[in-house]
Chain A
Amino acid sequence: MTVADAGRVGPPREYWYNNPTIRSIAIQVVLIAVVVGLVGWLTNNTITNLHQRGIASGFGFLGQRAGFDIVTFLPTNSESTYGYMLLAGLVDTVVVSALAIVIATIFGLIVGISRLSSNWLIRTIATVYIEFFRNIPPLLVILFWYLAVIAALPNIRDAIQFGPQISLSNRGFFMPRPVFGDGFGWTAGAFVLGLVIAYGLGRWGRARQMRTGQPFHSFWIGLAIVVVLTGAVFVATGAPLGIEMPVKTRFNINGGWTISPEFATMFLALGIYTASFIAEIVRSGIMAVSHGQTEAARALGLRSGLTLRLVVLPQALRVIIPPLASEYLNITKNTSLAVAVGFADLVSVGNNVLNPTGQSIEVVAIWMAFYLGLSVLISVAMNWFNARIALTER
């Protein structure tokens, strides 16, 4: 007998509640009961509350006339229904997200690559940019653009002029609007045709290089084909394009094409803010490709442009794309901050709908359905992407 055995008290008795299977079932039953009970209780409360306030539940309100008007990309008026208004808000969300994504990607790429530059000054500027914008709230960036930059622009009478018909003021950016006449479809068709030809040429050029070894400058030749073909058809059909000039009235500018301060604020602020995150993603993606890869490519005699295109980028993109996609999703989610400046995105239109109707549950459900649908879509796409990469790697 040793001291260590002193604490032993014979074989432990078996209790039914120590059986892992029983335990697991019991825990799950309790959890389900709690969840169901909670949901039931909350639903019951909600029904009672809605009844007391005289609010009918359901999505019937979507067909009712809204009675207010908002500025959106889709034409709306006070006769539009709630459903149509929400659709207009959704379109705005998509448009502003798309534009912000373009700006953030371009800016993020430039800043991210600059962050790796061998030039100290460029590197420092990029670092300052990233460290500044990453560490302040996006809402602050939005408010700064809206209240401090755009609001500080001159009013419409003293607008800054860029040429005779293009002006910038605190009411927005005004410029002439192209008006497409009859037969413009031919030009558009020619443009598409040019793109198709250029694409085919690119593939042919690549195939020819593989066959004969001779490289083919398909990009420049393709570009020339698109430009020449589109231009020729445009002229041949009689240049069916008019221009609608903005007309200055006493207090406002009518006609032409306007970028509203709210819209400009949203896509500029979100683009600039998110660019700082994308820059870091780009940087870490490029850093993830080891230095040995570049060296090996250079040692084989590949010039730096080819090294980037054939060796570094294909590897960096695999690291970059998944976080980039989630950053794009973040931009879309952050457009909901539009409610702070009154840009009519899905959330702020929803807010407008929710107040007069009291249909808060339905509106919140619509929001969630949109955003959840989008993130499911993105994650499905990313799973597909990762699976495909994994397949070619192993």
Chain B
Amino acid sequence: MTLPELATETPLDRSQLKVSSSEVAVDMVGVNKWYGDFHVLKDINLRVMRGERIVIAGPSGSGKSTMIRCINGLEEHQKGRIVVDDIELTDDLKRIDEVRREVGMVFQHFNLFPHLTILENCTLAPIWVRKMPKKEAEDVAMQYLERVKIPEQANKYPGQLSGGQQQRVAIARALCMNPRIMLFDEPTSALDPEMIKEVLDVMVNLAASGMTMICVTHEMGFARQVANRVIFMDAGQIIEQNEPEEFFLHPQHERTKLFLSQILH
């Protein structure tokens, strides 16, 4: 097996990135989920420490997206427990809202609000959820828009931007809430090849800032460059987990080998 090429030229010294040994960001214990009679998540056990960058890979329909959507309560699980930032997810809507405030999410299809400008997209939640004054929210938003390198688009509408720009806005929008954990659900899958890099660049920079990240992605180069752990999922369960180099060079499970041989050439 071979190592995938690095995704970007952005330098990232992984040894400088700190992972906490005591602070747990996300803890999933024995999580099971069904869609009707279909068993989508089977016995998921995953503990994410603060500062970790985790990449989840696997064939489509393996339950990757469902798993990270459980972390911010977009999907509910039927068995097991999920604790995010010391808050356990239950049926209690208040708790789910509390968790969502601390967890940012980026979607495959960006899901920007088409009726609001880029700036308004970014300030909506800070104003209404964090009760931030508008001026302050706009300052914060501009700061993040600069970080994703599109401050000049602030007064345009999402429909006027390219896919890559929209996804960068979506990342900035999530960051405006100052989250402690970021979830990425196939953030580059809906993008044209030439736009993938600009989004990955932003994500690498985010990792460099020490953010706890859980990413579902097929970008193995990104995994090698950024992740401290790669998780392979299939048929609704975690099959194999390792640090990236080992994961790519010496996959152990047959399913992992098959998957990697299909995705890397």
Residues of A within 8 A of B (CB): 209-215, 290, 292-293, 295-303, 306, 310-311, 314-315, 318, 392-394
In the complex, are the beta carbons of A293 and B113 less than 8 A apart?
A: yes
CB-CB under 8 A from B135, the residues of chain A are 210-211
- Judged by a CB distance under 8 angstroms, whether B35 is at the interface is no
Contact of A300 among B109, B137, B159, B177 (CB under 8 A): B177
Instruction: Give residues 68-115 of B contacting A (CB, 8 Å).
Output: 72, 74, 93, 97, 100-101, 103-105, 107, 109, 111-115
Q: Which of B72, B128, B157, B159 makes the CB contact (< 8 A) with A299?
A: B72
B173 in contact (CB, < 8 A):
yes
B146 is an interface residue with CB less than 8 A from chain A: no
Per the bound structure, the CA–CA distance linking A301 and B96 in Å amounts to 8
List B125-148 residues whose CB lies under 8 Å from chain A: 125, 127-137
Q: Is residue B172 contacting chain A, with contact meaning CB distance below 8 A?
A: no
Total number of residue pairs linking A and B with CB closer than 8 Å: 85
* B residues whose Cβ falls under 8 Å from a Cβ of A: 72, 74, 93, 97, 100-101, 103-105, 107, 109, 111-115, 124-125, 127-137, 157, 159-160, 170, 173-174, 177
Q: Report chain A residues within 8 Å CB of B104.
A: 299
**Pairwise interchain contact A300-B74, C-beta atoms closer than 8 A:** no
Report the Cα distance A379→B134, complex, angstroms. 38
Say how far A121's CB is from chain B's closest CB, in angstroms: 20
Q: Which of B93, B101, B113, B129 contacts A296 (CB 8 A)?
A: B113
Contact residues in A for B132 (Cβ distance below 8 Å) = 213
Q: Is the CB of A310 within 8 A of B100?
A: no
Query: Does B109 contact A298, Cβ atoms closer than 8 Å?
Result: no
The contact of B159 among A298, A301, A393, by CB within 8 Å, is A393
Known contacts A296-B113, A299-B74, A301-B177; decide if A215 and B134 are in contact (CB<8 Å). no
Chain A residues with Cβ below 8 Å from B134 are: 209-211, 213
Cα of A292 to Cα of B158 in the assembled complex, Å: 15
Distance to closest chain B CB from A14 (angstroms) = 50
Are B107 and A301 in contact, CB atoms less than 8 angstroms apart?
no
Contacts of B105 in A (CB 8 A): 296, 299
With a cutoff of 8 Å between Cβ atoms, the chain B residues found around residue A292 in the complex are 107, 109, 111
- Report whether B133 and A298 are in contact in the complex, using a CB–CB cutoff of 8 Å: no
Q: Please, which residues of chain B bring their CB within 8 A of the CB of A315?
A: 113-115
List of B residues within 8 angstroms of A318 by Cβ: 115
B173 contacts across to A, CB distance below 8 A: 300
What residue in chain A is nearest B102 (Cβ atoms)? A301
A-B contact pairs, 19 of them (CB 8 A): A211-B133, A213-B127, A213-B132, A213-B133, A213-B136, A214-B131, A290-B111, A295-B107, A295-B111, A299-B72, A300-B173, A301-B100, A302-B128, A303-B93, A314-B115, A315-B114, A315-B115, A392-B115, A394-B160
Given contacts A293-B111, A315-B115, contact A300 B136 (CB under 8 A): no
Q: A310 to B131, Cβ gap below 8 A?
A: no
- Decide if B125 touches A302 in the complex (CB within 8 Å): yes
Please measure, in the bound complex, the distance between the C-alpha atom of A296 and the C-alpha atom of B174, giving whole angstroms. Answer: 9
Contacts of B112 in A (CB 8 A): 296
Kindly provide the distance from the CB of A294 to the nearest chain B CB, expressed in whole angstroms: 9
List 4 extra interface pairs beyond A210-B133, A296-B111, CB under 8 A: A212-B133, A215-B131, A293-B111, A293-B113
CB proximity of A303 to chain B, nearest CB, Å: 6
Taking CB atoms, residues of chain B closer than 8 Å to A302 are 124-125, 128-129
Contact B107 A393 (CB under 8 A): no
- Would you give the shortest CB distance from A183 to chain B, in whole angstroms? 45
Greatest chain A CB density within 10 A among B97, B100, B115, B133 is at: B115
Question: Smallest Cβ distance from B234 to chain A, in angstroms?
Answer: 25
B133 touches A300 (CB 8 A): no
CB distance from A125 to the nearest CB of B (A): 24
CB pair B111–A310 under 8 Å, yes or no, is no
Q: Is the CB of A209 within 8 A of B129?
A: no
